[in-house]
Amino acid sequence: MSFFESLKAVAAQAVELVQNNPQVVSGIQKIIEENGGVSGIVQKFKDKGFAEAATSWVGTGENVNLNASDVMKVLGSDSVQELAKKVGLDSEATAGLIGNLLPMVIDKLSPDGKEPSGDITSQLSSLASLFTK
């Protein structure tokens, strides 16, 4: 299996998981809101040593995903465990899911490399509908 086929399989699994557990999207929404919106969460990742990854999410190029331990380092285990309980996964799997989905969400919320202005909640709700159709 090629790298791209593997990546496609992982993406399909993530979409299926989100469709079966819409709480994942609301959990990511909560994480973004609790960390000061898009600019706040991007800055938090930059401050914790992940500037290249966080910048890529807002930029127009490829998004850099994070592994589970990086997500735990930045967001803390309490935040990840709270979402893990809601979606029925362990903390490690949930952190990995966040590491893959958060870059996509931030990217979609920052078209043309610009951080969003206005009501983030409605923008996230619109974005959630893409996953839950």
Sign for the CA dihedral angle at 50, 132, 82, 123 comes to positive
- Topology adopted by domain 3-132: Arc Repressor Mutant, subunit A (1.10.10)
Q: Are 98 and 75 in contact (CB under 8 A)?
A: yes
Predicted TM-score (pTM) of the model is 0.74
More confident residue, 125 or 52: 52
Domain locations along the chain: 3-132
Q: Are 69 and 96 in contact (CB under 8 A)?
A: no
Q: What tens digit of pLDDT does each residue of 88-115 get?
A: 889 998 899 899 888 888 888 887 776 6
CA pair distance 33, 13, nearest whole angstrom: 26
Cα distances from 72 to residues 5, 26, 37, 80, 96, in angstroms, run: 28, 18, 18, 7, 9
Side chain identity, residue 9: A
Query: How high is the pLDDT of residue 73?
Result: 96
Q: What tens digit of pLDDT does each residue of 109-129 get?
A: 887 776 665 555 555 555 555
Average pLDDT, the chain: 79
Cα of 23 vs its chain's centroid, Å:
13
At residue 52, does pLDDT exceed 90? yes
